[in-house]
Structure 1
Amino acid sequence: MIHGFLVLADSVSTDTSSGKVHMLGAGWSLTGPMVPPSAVAGFLRIPWDEAGRQVQFRLHLVDQDREPVKLLHDDGQSRAIVFEGALSLQNAQPADELSKNLPVNVSFGLSIPPLPLPAGQVYQWMFDIGETEVAAVQFAVRSQDVTVADEPHSGEPE
């Protein structure tokens, strides 16, 4: 079975030669009320016996009711926020006997432009392989009327 997890970040960069994902501002779960550019980093663990088959994947954004989040496009149509593709590691082989005991690690990073998401809501990025949810990460968009508290003073008391 393929396992995975997602991490929210301010930005990501993927090093294709090493398979590493470099993240800045990683691990947040609260944003807004205006949603800035962001990124999703994904990490998959694929057993060797499943590495050779091609799988369809889908990263999509849903609201707190798990309904697809849709954006209005220039043509007047509303479309769900979805990134889809296929993944295959047909030529992957363990480097040695020890490597056979570990799953194949696959990582990715996806930059997301600012999204006009309604404030005061919880959202979730979901990563599916076929019809199976493999990973998900939630975040909330602050309400317009919520203010962030000032940083504590480091000097003498007032």
Structure 2
Amino acid sequence: MQGFLVLCDSASTDRATGKISMLGAGWSLTGPELPSTAIAGFLRVPWNEARTDHTFTLGLAGEDGEPVMVSAAGRERPLRFSGQLAVNPADTELDELARSLDIHSSFAISVHSLSLAPGRYTWALEVDGEDLASVTFGVRADPDADAE
């Protein structure tokens, strides 16, 4: 299995086709304010792994490798999305050409505005405990913060 992550201003998945529509895709530097963003994920799954349940985790870590913590319901927790995924091709009677290609699957996750200190951050995708993909971005310092 292969995975790819893309940072976007916004993204949504068309459930009928599995395609992702992205706006402002491919950035790596933001700030000093971090607006709402999205992570678009793309998976390429070999046919022999179709219909197999996989456990995934997508989490945000700082440059020290420690998880970014957020407040939720009055307590601090790591900023992480997790669950189960399985690729179930709709048409098992595909022609030879289609079956010679990996099965493509995608997802989009929207993240509301975060308050992050200046520095480097990495979204990392694990599937079945294996690092599959990551994307790193930077948050600039506020140049006016030093002037105060």
Question: How does the TM-score come out when normalised to structure 1?
Answer: 0.85
Q: Does 1:83 align with 2:81?
A: yes
Aligned residues: 143
Segments ≥4 residues shifted beyond 2 Å: 89-94
Percent identity among equivalent residues?
Answer: 43
Report the counterpart of residue 19 of structure 1 in structure 2.
18
For the 8 Å contact 1:46–1:105, the answer to whether it is kept is yes
Q: Matches of 1:74 and 1:35 in 2, distance apart? A: 22
- Matched residue of 1:143: which SS? coil
Q: Which amino acid aligns with 1:100?
A: R
The 1:94–1:84 alpha-carbon spacing in structure 2 relative to 1, beyond 3 Å, is farther
Is there any run of 5+ residues in structure 1 with no aligned partner, and where? 147-158
Q: What's the TM-score once normalised by structure 2's chain length?
A: 0.91
How far off its partner does 1:100 sit?
1.3
- Pick aligned residue for 1:139 from 117, 120, 137: 137
In 1, Cα distance between the equivalents of 2:143 and 2:64? 23
2:89·2:103 contact (CA, 8 Å) conserved in 1? no
- 1:86-123 C-alpha deviation (Å, 9 max, x unpaired): 0113565362111111110000111110001112x100
Contact 1:94 1:100 in 2 (8 A): no
Task: Map 1:2-41 onto structure 2 (within 5 A).
Answer: 2-41=1-40
